[in-house]
Amino acid sequence: MTRGASGPIVTLGESMGLLRQERPGPLHAQRQLGFGFGGAESNVAIAASRLGAPAEWIGRLGEDSVGDLIERELRAEGVTPRVVRDPDAATGLMLKERPIPDTSRVVYYRRSSAGSRLRPEDVPAGAIERAALLHVTGITPALSASASATVDAAVARARAAGVPVSLDLNYRSALWSEGEAAERLRALIAAADIVFAGDDEAAIVVGARPVPELAAALAELGPAEVVVKLGARGCFARIDGAEHERAATPVRVVDTVGAGDAFVGAYLAERVSGAPVPQRLDTAILAGAFACLHPGDWEGLPTRRDLELWRRADPVQR
């Protein structure tokens, strides 16, 4: 058994306040917006926690009410926040617009935010070393030099302690170019045990090619587990050399934002519980489907009971 296998799934990155349009249409015509929070890594932690896996999120928040909300909501979701509160920078914000039904556009206000000032010393002593797994994304290294160094330090600590490393490429074009991302992500992939990527993200790193070849090319860089997320087409995985393919669960989509994080969190929760690969992928697919049924980033993520009800009732809209 890998060292730390009984510990929590540990994630680190930036969480931000989230303003969202509740109704589709031009933003200037809206008079009310919903408010919450989101962030790829905290979304993953919540997804794992709802499925019974202990989870922790490491990050930097401002000394403001948005930071208070994020820390409080994470605790309410069973996620242990290990937070540094920054007196000199505000918690970032993002705005989710719905210009037309079933379509979202996210705008970020994060320049010089508290989260972008994450630094290696923000990661508590022992937090990585006692983890069941460390999960990072390609978002954090693109935020700033100090955030990038934090990811490297955390990964190095995990490798030294024998803790598995999970990486979701999560390429964001607003943060860096494809060329910059490809070089940086290759190094992280080489240090990871598990890699998640959309097919478009994988192509940035290894070049455009058929999905099975994308997975094989990523695996050649080092990770034993590669999962290519295909959205409405399901997923394709290459795990210890064996190939697995799953179709998506068809649903009436409300909002796809957060579905990839739900997929990842569910896969990791099943992995640390010792579930076999088919169960990991099936649960991940279902969790991603649940996320699409709700307008929030994480609010609609399923519990074990939700998944069982889904399997028994087959509520798919056909």
DSSP line for 95-141: EEE-SSTT--EEEEE-TT-TGGG--GGGS-TTTTTT-SEEEEESSGG
Task: Supply the pLDDT for residue 3.
Answer: 43
C-alpha R_g of the chain: 18
Considering the domain boundaries, does residue 2 fall inside one?
A: no
**How buried is residue 1: exposed, middle or buried, by Cβ count under 10 Å (0-12/13-18/19+)?**
exposed
Using a CB cutoff of 8 Å and minimum separation of 24, what contacts does 23-26 make?
23/98, 24/98, 24/99, 24/100, 24/101, 24/103, 25/98, 25/99, 26/99
Considering the domain boundaries, does residue 259 fall inside one?
A: yes
Q: What 3-state DSSP class applies to 230?
A: coil
pLDDT of 117 strictly over 80 = yes
Considering the domain boundaries, does residue 315 fall inside one?
A: no
Cα 251 from Cα 245, distance rounded (Å): 19
Q: Do the Cβ atoms of 70 and 46 come closer than 8 Å?
A: no
Catalytic residues, by residue number, are 261
Q: Residues 16-73: pLDDT tens digits?
A: 999 988 777 777 777 788 899 999 999 999 999 999 999 999 999 999 999 999 999 9
Considering the domain boundaries, does residue 312 fall inside one?
A: no
Q: Do the Cβ atoms of 41 and 13 come closer than 8 Å?
A: yes
Element (H, E) at 285: helix 277-291
Task: Supply the pLDDT for residue 5.
Answer: 59
Look at the chain and report how many structural domains it folds into: 1
Considering the domain boundaries, does residue 316 fall inside one?
A: no
* Mean pLDDT, range 162-171, rounded to an integer: 97
Considering the domain boundaries, does residue 3 fall inside one?
A: no
Considering the domain boundaries, does residue 318 fall inside one?
A: no
* Mean pLDDT, range 254-274, rounded to an integer: 93
Q: Show the tokens assigned to 93.
A: 């914000």
Considering the domain boundaries, does residue 95 fall inside one?
A: yes
Domain that holds residue 153: 9-307
CATH number of the domain where residue 262 is located: 3.40.1190.20
